[in-house]
Amino acid sequence: MARRRKRGRRKSRRQAPRYRIPWLRGLLAVAVLLAGYLVYLDFKVRHQFDGKRWSLPARVYARPLELYAGLPLTPEQLATELAALHYQPAISPRQAGEVSRNRNVFHLITRPFVHWDGREDSRNIRVTLANGVVSQLVDVGNGAAASLVRLDPVMVGSFYPTHSEDRVLVKLDEVPPLLTEALVAVEDHNFYSHHGIAPLSILRALWANIRAGGVVQGGSTLTQQLVKNFYLSSERTLRRKINEAIMALMLEWHYEKDEILEAYLNEVYLGQDGGRAVHGFGLASHFYFERPLAELSVEQIALLTGLVKGPSYYNPRQQPERALQRRNLVLDVMSAAGLITHEQAVRGKSRKLDVSHYRKKAINTFPAFLDMVRRQLQRDYREEDLTTEGLRIFTTLDPQLQWQLEQVLDRRLGGLESERGIPANTLEGAAVVTSIQGGEVLALAGGRHPGFAGFNRAMDAKRQVGSVIKPAVYLTALQRPEDYTLATLLDDGPLTWKAPNGNDWSPQNYDRQFHGMTPLYHALAHSYNVATARLGLELGLDSVISTLTSLGLRQDFRPYPSLLLGAVELSPLQVTQMYQTLASGGFRTPLRAIRAVLAVDEIPLQSYPLRVKAAVAPAPAYLITTALRFAARTGTGSALYRVLPAAMDIAGKTGTTDDLRDSWFAGYTGDRLAVVWVGRDDNQSTGLTGSTGALLIWRDLFAQVGDQGPLQSAVEGIEILRIDPLSGLRADNGCPDAVELPFIQGSGPVESAPCAVGGSPLQRPVDWFKELFE
């Protein structure tokens, strides 16, 4: 440089002096610019390669299915789960992800999977189902009983950034060696010896292109292809070619061959799924074959390898002939390179393409549930982290229950419309299903069109709740055992309440009749408005509001007496939270949609643990559940048992609002709670009560779910007494309509009813089922 400058100076002395300086400056400037540009390229290459190479969407998983002897599960449910996980049917399973079924016996090899709490190894198991449960779970390897096997979870969605690229990241050691060998053999057989570019290949390609009069051959190394995919646009200019070559050399200078290969495997463009670009072999394997890379056959590997040359030109779904030829060519190359035997190539070539049927699926299958997940995550993560950091989110979703819920909701609403002459598609609905003790949201429907990511009614539709609120009034009473029991007679006679502003409030019953003195449990079971209003006014609105708050409703309730009859707007999710506390015996558990979040490298980031708070004493909670069992069995919910088996123990409450605008049903069994709302988006009348609308959806769902566990656990300090419902006093066998009711110890009536004769049971047997058959 110095010499050149010297020479330049001498030269310039001979030339016109006024040009000397600009010439030198120009040269310097070019050199500096060039150097700067190289530094910039080098920085770009290293920065992007070292740092975050890909923005990875967060992946959202359903709950994994845990198999154990005694688990309630039908063969159809297991088959559905395995289909959702893309287990491949096989005559005799040999590798992970394969299953064979012989009626009620499934033989499967589970996939290894890293859950939030650790890795679950692959297991070779036989599952026998009988009478609606897993009757046997056997480890095929040693023939011994397996106590617990956890499947991989169904992926139910991803959170994408605005530009829709997607990947399933793979590590080099997870990739079948045959794939990398085939790739090298087909695309760049000097990969392990060149320094990023292969001049001979370029010349060869150039010659071929000249002879053909156009671009027929690439000549790019894998490294160049990576650079092109990784850093550059797809423009075809000389400048880009030069940049590509320089950056390829830099990449090779800085990184090992294996690192480059791994990046290539994850970066290369292999197809298009609607608006979503399919990058990398990990995702391509799922996209074309619905199985992980590790489970691919020889010819499937050959097909993917062949796709690199032109994913749309050789698109196996649209151009099966071309794709087949390309695949067979790759099989020949693999055989010639000694990667597979000649026989393997012949066998592979004889097979069909075997590409899975393309499903134009919404990226997120359950938008309403994912909406809830996203909102819970947004408390802890920035939006950017959700779409770029590759978080793995483990949720509480039970996909089987979700499908069932979506199905029954749409079917029943459609049925109601056609039966009742309601204009089609005017009824809307929303529902939430939870596990009672854990407070996990198992399914959530935000509307009747499940795939549509619109208004999430389960979370955002605040509607009047009507009688669904009444258990809070009765619970307030039952928390004062000295004053109220299930047998206390309430007055359901005419009531007029004078508001401070002078207005009168005269609540009416739904049947426009008054029912006189009626035992407390019966007033709730039959949802008498007047008795409830009078009771609530006796207790005080503030006490009722305080009960609502302790049940988990965080909201400013205005102390109007109409609150007692449900003139308050809540979302289905809020109603679920309220009933959750009742159903779990008085313990409040914040509803959870997420169990844990893992970082992309499988390090646990956050768990959302089970937390409980004793909100209502167990004894009053027990009493209210008893009253709600009466409501389901013989009260406003009795339509349940026209379909559901008598053995199913249910506690539930209907809700109907003025002019039949809203139809609610909230009910629970031993293990699950579900709240259903039906109404119209324009808040017009639906013509449906709680029991002719929402209850039917609830019933449809539980007819499928079939939860028959016991509803109530025994509670300390509860005694059972036989009561004459007419007088609310102690009954004996002389009283034909006697009921047995639980009481908080010592709170029950002492006096005997007029009907009590103290006679022998043989004289006047109690008719347990009288009310049932009335």
Binding residues (CB under 8 A) for other proteins: these are 66, 68-72, 116-118, 133, 145, 147-148, 435-438, 440, 585-587, 596, 607, 609-614, 618, 626, 629-630, 633-634, 646-649, 670-671, 708-710, 712-716, 720, 737-742, 768-772
3-state secondary structure of 683: coil
Give me the least distance between CB of 625 and other proteins, in Å please: 12
Question: Strands, E, within 480-581: which ranges?
Answer: 489-492, 497-498, 504-505, 516-519, 569-570
Structure tokens at 763: 């004289």
Could you give the CA distance from residue 666 to residue 579 in angstroms, rounded to a whole number?
Answer: 7
Query: Helices in 526-563 by DSSP H: which ranges?
Result: 529-539, 541-550
Beta bridge partners of 126: 107, 138
Query: For residues 692-722, b (16+ Cβ closer than 10 Å) or e, as one string?
Result: bbbbbbbbbbbebbebbeebbeebeebeebb
Q: How far apart are the first and last CA of the chain?
A: 109
Q: Is 467 a catalytic residue?
A: yes
Give me the least distance between CB of 629 and other proteins, in Å please: 7
Name which of 71 and 678 has its Cβ closer to other proteins. 71
CB 738 within 8 A of CB 759: no
Name which of 183 and 615 has its Cβ closer to other proteins. 615
Structure tokens at 738: 């006697």
Cβ count near 150 (within 10 Å): 18
Say how many CA atoms lie within 13 Å of 415 toward its Cβ. 12
Name which of 447 and 519 has its Cβ closer to other proteins. 519
3-state secondary structure of 322: helix
Give me the least distance between CB of 267 and other proteins, in Å please: 35
Give me the least distance between CB of 117 and other proteins, in Å please: 4
Give me the least distance between CB of 99 and other proteins, in Å please: 21
Give me the least distance between CB of 512 and other proteins, in Å please: 26
Give me the least distance between CB of 35 and other proteins, in Å please: 53
CB 128 within 8 A of CB 105: yes
3-state secondary structure of 616: coil
CB 458 within 8 A of CB 440: no
Name which of 381 and 587 has its Cβ closer to other proteins. 587
Name which of 304 and 731 has its Cβ closer to other proteins. 731
Could you give the CA distance from residue 260 to residue 545 in angstroms, rounded to a whole number?
Answer: 64
Give me the least distance between CB of 72 and other proteins, in Å please: 6
Give me the least distance between CB of 391 and other proteins, in Å please: 18
Instruction: Output the CA torsion 130→128→146→705 (10° steps).
Output: -50
Name which of 256 and 774 has its Cβ closer to other proteins. 774
Name which of 538 and 771 has its Cβ closer to other proteins. 771
Query: Which residues, at least 6 apart from 547, have a Cβ–Cβ distance to it below 8 Å?
Result: 472, 473, 475, 476, 479, 616
Could you give the CA distance from residue 675 to residue 668 in angstroms, rounded to a whole number?
Answer: 9
Name which of 138 and 541 has its Cβ closer to other proteins. 138
Q: Which residue, chain included where needed, has tokens 């989110």?
A: 393
CB 443 within 8 A of CB 701: no
Cβ count near 421 (within 10 Å): 7
Beta bridge partners of 720: 742
CA 137 from centre of chain: 27
Name which of 178 and 731 has its Cβ closer to other proteins. 731
Give me the least distance between CB of 488 and other proteins, in Å please: 17
How large is the greatest C-alpha to C-alpha distance in the chain, in angstroms? 140
Query: Helices in 351-440 by DSSP H: which ranges?
Result: 367-378, 383-388, 399-420
Closest CA to 170 of 301, 293, 303: 293
The per-residue DSSP string of 303-317 comes to HHHHHTT-TTTT-TT
Task: Quote the DSSP letter at residue 355.
Answer: P
CB 696 within 8 A of CB 704: no
Residue 526 gets the label, from left (phi > 0), alpha (psi -120 to 50) or beta, of alpha
Give me the least distance between CB of 336 and other proteins, in Å please: 52
Beta bridge partners of 517: 491
Helix (H) or strand (E) holding 137: strand 133-139
Query: For residues 573-601, b (16+ Cβ closer than 10 Å) or e, as one string?
Result: bbbbbbbbbbbbbbbbbebbbbbbbbebe
Name which of 31 and 610 has its Cβ closer to other proteins. 610
Name which of 80 and 708 has its Cβ closer to other proteins. 708
Name which of 230 and 587 has its Cβ closer to other proteins. 587
Name which of 323 and 738 has its Cβ closer to other proteins. 738
Give me the least distance between CB of 56 and other proteins, in Å please: 25
Structure tokens at 83: 């289909």
Could you give the CA distance from residue 536 to residue 565 in angstroms, rounded to a whole number?
Answer: 9
Give me the least distance between CB of 630 and other proteins, in Å please: 7
| Amino acid at the residue 453 | A
Beta bridge partners of 606: 597
The residue annotated as part of the active site, out of 187, 262, 389, 440, is 187
The residue annotated as part of the active site, out of 467, 571, 584, 691, is 467
Catalytic residue positions?
187, 467
